[in-house]
Amino acid sequence: MRWKLYYDDLTTFSSEDGIWEAAPTDGVLFLNRWDADGTIETISHDFYFNHDGVMQGTEHLGPLLRKLGFIKFGRWANTERLEAVRTMANKDALWQQKLGT
């Protein structure tokens, strides 16, 4: 797939200039990608990535980060649930042992 990144300093970097990983990281404003059928798509997002040879853009990093597997995600909980889980954690004998108490 052919692609071209357009930067805020008026420079570009494309698949003809090098591999995706060699492109500058910051300042991307647009991505053009040429699909197999010759269609050119212009994309503008906050984040851009190469997924299995398809250059993509997204506003939401969560799904992409989840694919990495080593990042764990916290979440909001109401006060009752938060306190119940905090009690479980505080009572866990192994956890207390690790804390040295």
| In a domain? residue 41 | yes
Q: Which residue has the higher pLDDT, 61 or 97?
A: 61
Q: How many domains does the chain have?
A: 1
Asked if residue 93 has pLDDT above 70, the reply is no
Asked if 1 contacts 55 with a C-beta cutoff of 8 angstroms, the reply is yes
CB atoms within 10 A of CB 29: 12
Q: What is the pLDDT of residues 2-53, one digit of tens each?
A: 999 999 999 999 999 999 999 999 999 999 999 888 899 999 999 999 988 8
**Confidence band of 99 (pLDDT split at 50, 70, 90):** low
Q: What is the pLDDT of residues 58-90, one digit of tens each?
A: 998 888 888 877 888 888 999 999 999 988 888
Q: What is the dihedral of CA 49, 54, 58, 64, to 10 degrees?
A: -60
pTM over 0.85: no
User: Which 3-state string (H, E, C) describes 17-58?
Assistant: CCCHHHCCCCCEEEEEEECCCCCEEEECCCEEEEECCEEEEE
1: nearest Cα among 45, 65, 51: 51
| In a domain? residue 48 | yes
For residue 54, what are the domain limits? 2-68
